[in-house]
Amino acid sequence: MTTQKPLILVTNDDSINAPGIRTLISVMKELGDVVVVAPDSPQSAMGHAITINSTLHINKLNNDPELYAEYSCSGTPVDCVKFAVNEILHRKPDLCVSGINHGSNSSINVIYSGTMSAAVEAGIEGIPAIGFSLLDYNWNADFEPCRKFVKKIAAEVLQKGLPEGVILNVNLPKLPENEIKGIKICRQAKAYWEEKFDKRTNPMGKDYYWLTGKFVNQDNGEDTDEWALAQGYVSVVPVQFDLTAHHAIQTLNSWGLNG
């Protein structure tokens, strides 16, 4: 009797042609049958956006004959997961992996991340999911040092699953493989973006703006993703899509609003 291989859905937000996703696809082929559904153009910082006011276009590709299937999608990363689950896959995937993102999705960045929102959408669908990001924004970043850690974490999730409603946010430091100290399970650091808009004027005299900002880490804890990454570890943060602030319910009940 033959054992069915795990079915793995791969997506991202940097586009289907990004080097990061090509590395992720290569690693996932070592673990199971791979289906790729990813944006046809960069969709960074799209968060959990979905397409509702325009049409979606899907193209089946033949970039890699070893893949189970590969599609590009005109929509957002979340659109890609929704379309894969509802229109392409013949069964629920055993795992969804998103990335490898070109740049950090640690700390507060998880809120804005298209990479992580795709993973969260898979989690909502009941699929174990992981978002992977490398702390290097360069399009030609070296993703080879990521391979061992990506495979190890994905294999563990395939074998053991994840708690209900939990998704993993994995960030990898920009270091050679032999300088990465290992993996740390962390909490999300308390941080924010100190933002401003760079005002400019075009040749026609019309003002326009570029969003700029500085990342401010307010957290000195040695159990955070920012600390782990700074120390040369891969950070793994379990995140959830239940946004209820359970600790605040008792306080709100004391206000006398109920009834």
Peptide bond into 100 cis (omega under 30): yes
Terminal Cα distance for the chain, rounded = 61
pLDDT in tens, 29-39: 999 999 999 99
Which band of pLDDT confidence, cut at 50, 70 and 90, is reported for residue 45?
confident
The CATH architecture of the domain made up of 7-189+221-253 is 3-Layer(aba) Sandwich (3.40)
Which band of pLDDT confidence, cut at 50, 70 and 90, is reported for residue 1?
very low
Looking at residue 3, its pLDDT comes to 66
What are the beta bridge partners of residue 171?
133, 235
Q: What is the average per-residue pLDDT within 168-177?
A: 97
Q: Is the pLDDT of residue 252 over 50?
A: yes
CA distance 164 to 157: 12
Phi and psi angles of residue 113, each rounded to the nearest 5 degrees, phi first: -70, 125
Looking at residue 46, its pLDDT comes to 86
Give the H or E element holding residue 159: helix 147-160
Q: Is the pLDDT of residue 239 over 80?
A: yes
Q: Among 39-53, 127-141, 149-163, where is mean pLDDT lowest?
A: 39-53
**Tokens (6 digits) for 95:** 């795992």
Please say whether the beta carbons of 42 and 117 come within 8 A.
no
Q: Is the pLDDT of residue 49 over 50?
A: yes
pTM equals 0.93
Q: Is the pLDDT of residue 2 over 70?
A: no
